Amino acid sequence: MNIIENLKEANLRGRGGAGFPTWQKWQMVKDAVSPDGRKFVVCNVSEGEPAVSKDGYILEREPEVVISGIALAMEAVAAQKGFLYLRKDYYGKHKDKLAKIIGDKPIEIFCEPCGYLGGEETTLLESIEEKRCEPRIKPPFPPQVGLFGCPTVINNLETLYFAAKIANGEYKNTRFYSVSGDTACPGAFECGDNLTVREVLEKTGNLPQAEFFVQAGGGASGTILLDSDLDKPLTGAGSIVVHDLAKTDLRKLGLSWAEFFVKENCGKCVPCREGVFCLKEIFSQEPLDIARAQDIVKLLAAASFCPFGKGVANSFGSLINKLMAK
Amino acid sequence: MKIIIDGKEIEAVEGQSVLEAAKNAGIEIPALCYHPDLCVKANCRLCVVEIEGIPVPAAACSAKIKEGMKIVTDSDNLKSLRKTNLELLFGEHRRNCPQCIWQGKCALLKYAAVFKANPMAVPLRKPEPDIVKFGPVILDRSKCIECRNCVDMCARQTGSRRGTDTEMKSDGFLEVEGQGKDIHISPSCDAKKDCIYCGQCIVHCPVGALDSESPVDEIDALLKDRKGKTMVIQFAPSIRTSIGEMFGMEYGMNVTGKLAAALKKLGFDKVFDVNMSADLTTVEEAKELVWRVTEKKPLPMFTSCCPGWMRYLEFYRPDMIPNITTVKSPQNMLGSLIKTYWAEKNNVKPENIIVVSVMPCTAKKYDVTKPEEKINELSPIDYVLTTRELGRLLQKNRINLKEMEQGAADDPFGVYTGAGTIFGATGGVTEAATRTAYWLITGKNLEKVECENVRGIAGLKKAVVEINGIKLKVGIANGMENAKIILDDLDKDPKAYDYIEIMACPGGCIGGGGQPLPVNDDIRKKRAAGLYSDDCSKKIRFAHESPAVKEVYDEYFKGDEHKIHEILHTSYAQKPKSEIIK
């Protein structure tokens, strides 16, 4: 059985957040016709979302598996070149070690210049092409028209790590979780796939005693979940930030996100550039103009150019609707 | 294929975007960063529509149609999204509506009314003017909404983008800098890039963030207090079929007579028509072409009427300078004649004449400052007004062009032929020159006056013109992206052409950077059609038969080629990058 079949059987889905079936992405690139014969594989380690640290955790402990995962994907789709797209601090910390592991394999270690935006796959492609860090219009999607116009697999580090594990027969339906915030033992954990948020907190010894809420899926763009929402599977990038309800100033929490997004958004589209700035202004003063914030959230969710704006809408929308608009 | 928009079945063509398909069916989807001349950028997000089967709204400009697609363009949800979006846009657009080149007709205000957006809902993010100047162009970034139309257009003019490219490029003189809220448009600091002053950025800006430096107030003051000066105004060929738009007249309507009357009413002592000197340019250029061909001098010969093109060659391709005709542009030729022949004839000191020139062009403002253009130490032209600025000057003086009686430009520079008037459209100079070159070589006039193979607003035209067994390979381009194709052709084969006409702006002068807003292919076609019907209606259609041209040669030059060269010809030289003033 070939690797793509194996991935399909193991039902491995992208661990970067979107959860797209990995085998399908590889199959698309394998089948795609390249205009100049080239195909690429990019391992995305931009891990720009605050409170997500699982890719760094894996890179620290099992870099060999990651590199073999990239090589595996390259072989599976017949790509001539791979890129290891590293967050700036990961690059500084691990590049020498990684270069040794890579040896003479055609895998380039690339230091990402985009910050948070590098997590968006077409922005990542633009940055490797030395263009402005901005998303492309989709379609076409990267498996059809990717890096330098060629079919390209872009997978999160964890995805390629587990692809390698699957190839070696070592996959036990696990995934990595990052837990942080007002909690007993924060960190990265490997547990079973498809756990609910409550199960992750319980299994990692992080279920708080005091009244709390969590932000699931990323420390900036993740969704706010209350106690009653915790029995749903944790999706996305597998991150949970725990907030002690009594200790948390909701306006300041929103402001910290807004400041992050103002700094990190690319500025290409109006909803993000202006909407995020406006959210920062709104959350900078009291009383909060909740109605305007809701209008902006609605616009970001419906009309922003790339998933970045939808992420902003996700966190602000759930914060406002679940905790502030009562 | 068939698609359904707002419950209405419409016929659409595969490959079209939802926005284009809707537009063809007469359904307007609001959009700001969309322009039919430019590639799709999808950054304003105003055009989002609901498509059945797609969970979130999609940008109509970038979404391609599919058979049977069901699209809603005006739901309550979309209306409220657009309202919020517009309010955010107003938050980054410092309004100065009374001074804006859109004169209250911009899309922002139009859609604000439609979607009940409150322009004051969001506090201004950039409350102070943030101005940067390059040549005659002024960019106020406090008005800019970062749509990048200017950057895209500039990449066509000074960068590597071609009109057929579907992806935006930003390697021209205008660049995008910064990130997030600090994003802004900036002129390039690259020593190898410069503005060619074409003004295409201005006419493609949806919100009036770009404009040209205007002498309207100075001219207005001079008209009211002449200080002993004689005030003369001249207007370009293409003005006559565009300025009417600013007074609610139809696209392409020829207003030569009304314009002459309006300019006199403004208080100018003399009103002259640049069509007259376009005729003279034609004769001189045809003479030079025949000379270059028969004497084996450098070919191809480039036309020089377009100052954006001249600026391009003088900055980017100085190696091509020997190929430029030495004949002055019609504007500078007429200015030169006014300050020599006309001054002498009327016993006026040249230094006491103020020549105002109305041009469809912003680069002409630069053109008159060039030292090579001087005539007896004087600039041939004192002020250049764009079409838009003249409209402003008339409005300021409460002169409604539409209501003017028919007047006429003054002798001796008021009479023109059909050849002169078509200078305003791409291919027009070639056609005019061909008519006269034929006569110079054969001693006879062409039987069929019209040269259909050089007409039309296609960006690039190639033709072979045969005169008495001499085959001339002609290349005609409008828009710098097409000019660059011709230059590439020449780099590969220096003998690829014998005669080349280039106009930097799409469609030629009728699509110039100084023309009224808005502009698109339909409007350019109508303006050009107005000029061709003017040509058709003229009794005389050969430049060499112009009585005004004959008078100048007979009365003034009397066969003195040295004098002709001194007054009607110029020279070119490599030019440095212009200063960027912040």
Which residues, other chains included, contact B27 with Cβ-Cβ below 8 Å and sequence gap of 6+? B5, B6, B8, B10, B73
- Residue B355, beta-bridge partner list: B232
pLDDT band at B455 (very low <50, low <70, confident <90, very high): confident
Q: Is B176 on the interface with A (CB under 8 A)?
A: yes
| 8 A C-beta contact, residue B529 and residue B426 | no
Please report residues of B whose CB lies closer than 8 A to that of A305. 42-43, 45, 59
* pLDDT interval class at B38 (50, 70, 90): very high
Q: Say how far residue A154 (Cα) sits from the centre of its chain.
A: 12
| Contact: A278, B179; criterion CB under 8 Å | no
Partner-chain residue, chosen from A133, A270, A275, that has the shortest CB–CB distance to B44: A270
Q: Whose CA is closest to B476, among B486, B468, B466? A: B486
- Collect all residues of chain A within an 8 Å Cβ-Cβ radius of residue B43: 268-270, 305
Are residue B203 and residue B220 in the same domain, yes or no?
Answer: no
The residue among B482, B502, B504, B485 whose CA lies nearest residue B493 is B485
Q: Are strands B470-478 and B58-59 parallel, antiparallel or unpaired?
A: unpaired
Maximum pairwise Cα distance, chain A: 62
Residue B354 Cα to chain centre, angstroms: 24
Least confident span in A131-135, B2-6, B443-447, B529-533: B443-447
Provide the residue type at B146 as one letter: E
Q: Alpha-carbon distance B85 to B79, whole Å? A: 10
Burial-class residue A273 by CB neighbours within 10 Å (0-12, 13-18, 19+).
buried
Quote the mean pLDDT of chain B: 95
Identify the pLDDT of residue B470. Answer: 87
A:B CB pairs within 8 Å: 92
The confidence score (pLDDT) of residue A194 equals 86
Determine the pLDDT at residue B465.
Answer: 87
Which residues, at least 6 apart from B425, have a Cβ–Cβ distance to it below 8 Å? B238, B455, B457, B507, B508, B509, B510, B527, B528, B531, B532
User: What local confidence, expressed as pLDDT, does residue B274 receive?
Assistant: 97
Nearest C-alpha of chain B: how many angstroms from A291? 11
Please check whether residues B198 and B222 belong to one and the same domain: no
Cα nearest neighbour of B81 on chain A: A299
Give the pLDDT band of residue B165 (cuts 50, 70, 90): confident
Nearest CA in chain A to B58: A303
Q: How far apart are CA A158 and CA B559, in angstroms?
A: 86
pLDDT above 70 for A1: no
Contact A177, A189 (CB under 8 A): yes
Residue B575 inside a domain? The answer is no
Residue type, position A298, single letter? K
Contact A64, A161 (CB under 8 A): no
Query: Residue A178 pLDDT > 90, yes or no?
Result: yes
**B46 in contact with A, Cβ within 8 Å:** yes
pLDDT at B1: 93
Q: How close is the nearest chain A Cα to the Cα of B501, in Å?
A: 35
Are A284 and A259 within 8 A, CB to CB? no
d(CA B260, CA B265): 9
Cβ contact (<8 Å) for A137 and B56?
no
**Residue pLDDT, tens place only, A89-133:** 999 999 999 999 999 999 999 999 999 999 999 999 999 999 999
pLDDT at A83: 98
Question: Per mean pLDDT, which range of B65-69, B167-171, B223-227, B477-481 is the poorest?
Answer: B167-171
Band of residue B169 on the pLDDT scale cut at 50, 70, 90:
confident
Is the predicted pLDDT of residue B452 greater than 90, yes or no?
Answer: no
CATH code of the domain in which B369 resides: 3.40.50.1780
Region B182-196: mean pLDDT is 97
- Answer yes or no: do A278 and B91 touch at CB < 8 A: yes
Q: Is residue B312 part of a domain?
A: yes
* Inter-chain residue contact A305 with B45, CB threshold 8 Å: yes
For residue A19, what pLDDT is reported?
Answer: 87
The span from the CA of A68 to the CA of A72, in Å, is: 6
The three-state secondary structure class of B4 is strand
Do B405 and B289 fall within a single domain? yes
A182-219 pLDDT tens trace: 999 999 999 998 899 999 999 999 999 999 999 999 99
Residue B39's pLDDT band, with cuts at 50, 70 and 90, is very high
Q: What is the pLDDT of residue B334?
A: 98
**Residue B82 resides in a domain:** no
Whether residues B205 and B292 share a domain: the answer is no
Set of chain B residues whose Cβ sits within 8 Å of the Cβ of A268: 43, 183
Query: Under an 8 A CB cutoff, do B81 and A305 touch?
Result: no
The token pair that represents B388 in the structure block: 């838009």
Place of tokens 């995305």: A44
Phi-psi label, residue A148: left if phi above 0, alpha if psi -120 to 50, beta otherwise: left
The HSE-up count of residue A244 (CA atoms within 13 Å, CB side) is 10
- Separation between Cα atoms, residue B310 and residue B143, nearest integer Å: 31
Residues B181 and B270 reside in one and the same domain: no
Largest pairwise CA distance in chain B: 79
Q: What is the 3-state secondary structure (H, E, C) of chain A?
A: CCHHHHHHHHCCECCCCCCCEHHHHHHHHHHCCCCCCCCEEEEEECCCCCCCCHHHHHHHHCHHHHHHHHHHHHHHHCCCEEEEEECHHHHHHHHHHHHHHHCCCCEEEEECCCHHHHHCHHHHHHHHCCCCCCCCCCCCCCCCCCHHHCCEEEEEHHHHHHHHHHHCCCCCCEEEEEEEECCCCCEEEEEECCCEHHHHHHHCCCCCCCCEEEEECCCCCCEEECHHHCCCECCCCCEEEEEECCCCCHHHHHHHHHHHHHHHCCCCCHHHHHHHHHHHHHHCCCCCCHHHHHHHHHHHHHHCCCHHHHHHHHHHHHHHHHHHCC
**Distance of alpha carbon B337 from alpha carbon B345, whole angstroms:** 11
Q: Which residues of B touch A270 (CB under 8 A)?
A: 43-46, 85, 88-89, 145
Average pLDDT for B34-45: 96
The partner residue sitting opposite A296, judged by closest CB among B59, B84, B179, is: B84
Type of residue at B241: T
Final residue in a domain of this structure, among B212, B230, B264: B212
Beta strand extents in B246-335 (DSSP E only): 270-273, 301-302
Q: How far is B164 from chain A (nearest CA, A)?
A: 17
Partner-chain residue, chosen from A264, A273, A305, that has the shortest CB–CB distance to B183: A273
Model confidence at B559: pLDDT above 80: yes
- Residue B265, classed as helix, strand or coil, is helix
Contact call for residues A103 and A61 (beta carbons, < 8 A):
no
Hey, of B168, B179, B207, which one would you mutate to test binding to chain A, going by the most A CBs within 10 A of its CB?
B179
Looking at the structure, tell me whether residues B208 and B229 fall in a common domain. Answer: no
Domains identified in chain B, total number: 3
Its domain, for residue B509, covers 216-568
Contact assignment for A263 to B180 by CB distance below 8 Å: yes
Does pLDDT of B93 surpass 70? yes
B62: nearest CA in chain A? A137
Which of B473, B474, B460, B464 has its CA nearest to residue B503?
B460
Instruction: Identify whether residues B342 and B402 lie together within a single domain.
Output: yes
Contacts of A307 in chain B (CB under 8 A): none
Chain A residues with CB within 8 Å of chain B CB: 132-133, 137, 262-271, 273-278, 281, 292, 295-296, 298-299, 301-305, 310
Beta-carbon separation of B81 and A270 below 8 A: no
Rounded mean pLDDT of A244-269?
97
| Interchain pair B62, A132: CB under 8 A | no
- Does the beta-carbon distance from B88 to A133 stay under 8 Å? no
Region B173-177: mean pLDDT is 97
What distance in Å separates residue B101's CA from the closest CA in chain A?
23
C-alpha span between B88 and B71 (Å, rounded): 25
In this structure, the number of other CB atoms found within 10 A of the CB of residue A285 comes to 10
Among B236, B214, B223, residue whose Cα is nearest residue B399? B223
Determine the pLDDT at residue A234: 86
**Average pLDDT for B433-437:** 90
Average per-residue pLDDT for chain A: 95
Q: Which of B196, B212, B228 is the last residue of a domain?
A: B212
By CA distance, what is B40's nearest residue in A? Answer: A137
Contact B178 A270 (CB under 8 A): no
Which of B49, B74, B99 terminates a domain? The answer is B74
> For the residues of B456-523, what is the DSSP string, one character each?
S--SEEEEEEEETTEEEEEEEEESHHHHHHHHHHHHH-TTS-SEEEEESSTTSGGG-TTSPS---HHH
For residue A303, give the nearest of B81, B145, B179 by CB distance: B81
For A270, the closest of B40, B45, B179 (CB atoms) is: B45
Check whether residue B461 and residue B411 sit in a common domain.
yes
Q: Per the domain annotation, does B574 fall within a domain?
A: no
CB–CB contact B181 A262 (8 Å): yes
Query: Residues B190, B230: one domain?
Result: no
Q: Look at residue B234 and tell me if it is in a domain.
A: yes
Angle, to 10 degrees, between the axis of helix B428-442 and the axis of helix B274-294?
60
Q: Within a domain: residue B433? A: yes
The band of A18, judged by pLDDT with boundaries at 50, 70 and 90, is confident
The size of chain B, in residues, is 582
Collapse the DSSP code of B442 into the 3-class scheme (helix H, G, I; strand E, B; otherwise coil) and give the result.
helix
Residue B117: its pLDDT value, please? Answer: 98
B77 close to A (CB below 8 A)? yes
Q: Model confidence over B407-426: pLDDT tens digits? A: 999 999 999 999 999 988 89
CA distance B332 to B337: 9
B161: in domain: yes
Rounded CA separation B416/B546 (Å): 6
**Is the CB of residue B55 less than 8 Å away from at least one CB of chain A?**
no
Ordered domains of chain A (ranges, CATH): 3-167 (3.40.50.11540), 174-244 (3.10.20.600), 250-324 (1.20.1440.230)
Tens-place pLDDT, residues B110-145: 999 999 999 999 999 999 999 999 999 999 999 999
| Chain B interface mutation, best of A144, A273, A279, A314, highest count of B Cβ atoms under 10 Å | A273
Contact B140, B107 (CB under 8 A): no
Chain B positions touching A267 (Cβ under 8 A) are 146, 178-183
| Chain A interface, best mutation among B32, B39, B43, by max A CB count within 10 A | B43
What is the rounded CA–CA span in Å between residue B130 and residue B140? 5
Considering only the beta carbons, identify the residue of A296, A305, A310 that sits closest to B43.
A305
Whether residues B180 and A267 touch (CB distance < 8 A) is answered with yes
> How sure is the predictor about B570, in pLDDT bands with cuts at 50, 70 and 90?
very high
B281/B269 Cα distance (integer angstroms): 25
Q: Among partner residues A265, A271, A295, which is closest to B180 by beta-carbon distance?
A: A265
CA distances from residue B291 to B279, B297, B299, B301, B483 in whole angstroms, order as listed: 18, 8, 11, 11, 24
Q: Please indicate, yes or no, whether residues B150 and B256 belong to a single structural domain of this protein.
A: no
- B:366-425 residues touching chain A, CB 8 A cutoff: none
Which among B32, B212, B23 is positioned nearest to B109, based on CA atoms? B32
Distance from CA of B485 to the nearest CA of A (A): 24
Residue B284 shares a structural domain with residue B403: yes
Mean pLDDT to the nearest integer, A64-80: 97
CA distances from A106 to A33, A103, B361, B401, B451 (A): 21, 9, 54, 70, 60
Based on the fold, state whether residues B278 and B336 are members of the same structural domain.
yes
**Which one of B48, B89, B145 has the shortest CB-CB distance to A303?**
B48
Q: What percent of chain A has a predicted confidence (pLDDT) above 70?
A: 99
Q: B85–A302: do the CB atoms touch at under 8 Å?
A: no
**At B42, which CATH number?**
3.10.20.740
- In percent, the amount of chain A with pLDDT more than 90 equals 93
C-alpha distance from B86 to closest chain A C-alpha (Å): 9
- B580 domain residue, yes or no: no
Tell which B residues from 91 to 150 touch A, by Cβ distance under 8 Å: 91-92, 121-123, 125, 145-146
Q: What is the token pair recorded at A117?
A: 């935006």
